[in-house]
Amino acid sequence: DGGITQSPKYLFRKEGQNVTLSCEQNLNHDAMYWYRQDPGQGLRLIYYSQIVNDFQKGDIAEGYSVSREKKESFPLTVTSAQKNPTAFYLCASSTSTGTGVGASFGQGTRLTVV
C-alpha cells in the first residue's frame, strides 16, 4: 500500500542533543513537508521541498534542518538550537506544492525532551 511512514512514533531526547526524524513516502510525490503541532496551535510549517536537492524554510524553521537527497525521503533534524522541541511532528507529501488532491500525512512522531 502506498503511504507515508514516519519513524519512530515516540522519541526522547536529552537537552543539547540533535535528533533526526525519518519520513519516507512511496506515493511518488514530488513535494514533501514538515509540520509541527502543539496543543491549540494547529499545524505550523517548518520546511518543505518541491524537488530533490532543494528545500525552503517555512514559518518556524529556526533550530531545524532538513535534506532531500532522494525523492522518497525527507528527514528532519531537530538541533540543540531549537529551544522548545517537545511537540508532535507531522510529515506530509503531495503531487506538487499544495495542489492536486491535497497533502497526505504520516502518523506523526512525538518528540519529548527529557
Partner 1 sequence: AQSVTQPDIHITVSEGASLELRCNYSYGATPYLFWYVQSPGQGLQLLLKYFSGDTLVQGIKGFEAEFKRSQSSFNLRKPSVHWSDAAEYFCAVTSGNTPLVFGKGTRLSVIA
Summarize as ranges the residues that interact with partner 1 (CB under 8 A): 4, 6, 31, 33, 35, 40-45, 48, 58, 88, 90, 92, 96-99, 101-108, 110
Is the CB of 27 or the CB of 88 nearer to partner 1? Answer: 88
Is the CB of 17 or the CB of 99 nearer to partner 1? Answer: 99
For the chain, the first-to-last Cα distance in angstroms comes to 35
* CA distances (Å), origin 25, targets 22, 40, 71: 10, 28, 8
Residue 46 C-beta: closest distance to partner 1, Å: 10
Whether the CB-CB separation of 59 and 45 falls below 8 Å is answered with yes
Is the CB of 82 or the CB of 109 nearer to partner 1? Answer: 109
Calpha distance 25→83 (Å, rounded): 29
